[in-house]
Every structure is written in structure tokens, then in C-alpha cells.
Amino acid sequence: MALNDLLKKISIPTIDCKGLYFKDIGNIFKNKKELNKKDLEKLKYENIDIVLKFNFRRKIIKRTIKFHNITGLQAVKKASIIRAKLKEELESKGTIQKNDFKSLNELFKNYMTFKERSLSKNTLYTNQKTYDKWIKNEIGHL
């Protein structure tokens, strides 16, 4: 099955959904080509992949954003904001830069931000203290 077969256009009147597509890996919306607000409300706290499409200089650029532990509507709102930022970057610089981590400390900080909703406060605290004690000062600058 091709990627285009899995992509379902997102259409919500109150949100700028231009270039937003839901990646329907589990064939949840098998017979639909376009998803509305009611369809997205069915996606609650699941892994959600949204594909952003950009037309730039006669090329189609695609970026996939993965969301975890949020509702479908929240994911679409965040994806819309991310798409606007990436589009602005694409128009001003001509490319979309990837996240470059300068050090292990930055990577760990992003990891903790990403995991804060899915892990318990106890686990987050333990991970942070273990990292601070054994890794941060020794190899965190690498």
C-alpha cells in the first residue's frame, strides 16, 4: 500500500489545515478521503502521525510529525502551528533544517520534555537525578 493511500486530508473550518494529512496506518478511516472534526475526536490519546506537505519551487516536500498521548484535535492544532513555522523557514531560507543537538545535555532535555506526559512524576524525577549524577558532568557536553 502506497503512502498516498494511507493519507487522509484533514479539513476543519476553524483551523488552518492546508497541507495537513492524517497517516491512517491502522485503516481506521478506510472509506474516507477527508477527515472532519468528528472523525478526529475519535482519536483520543493514541499515537498520531500527521504528514505536512509543502509545495516549494515545483517540488512537494513532506514531513511527518508524530504525536503521543494527546487528542486528535490537539495534534491537528499543534501540527498547524508547526507547519506555519516550517513554511516560513522554507520561504525565508529555502530549506527546512533538521534538529541538530549540540550536546547530550540538549538531547536529554528534549527527551524529558517529550516523555513528561507519558511517564510518572516519580520516574521522571529518578531519570533526572540519575542523569545529573552519572552523565551530565561526565559526558553531557559531548
All cell numbers assigned to 66: 508524530
Q: How many domains does the chain have?
A: 2
Judge if pTM exceeds 0.85: no
137 beta partners: none
Q: Do 14 and 50 belong together in one domain?
A: yes
Q: Do 80 and 52 belong together in one domain?
A: yes
Phi-psi region at 98: left, alpha or beta (left = phi > 0; alpha = psi -120 to 50): beta
Q: Do 62 and 86 belong together in one domain?
A: yes
Q: Do 129 and 83 belong together in one domain?
A: no
pLDDT at site 3? 55
**Cβ contacts of 63 within 8 Å, gap of 6 or more:** 51, 52, 54, 86, 96
51-83 per-position pLDDT tens digit: 999 888 888 888 888 888 888 899 999 999 999
Q: Is pLDDT above 70 for 139? A: yes
* 99 occurs within a structural domain: no
Q: Do 14 and 41 belong together in one domain?
A: yes
Domain with 110, as residue range(s), is: 104-139
Q: Averaged over 1-25, what is the pLDDT?
A: 83
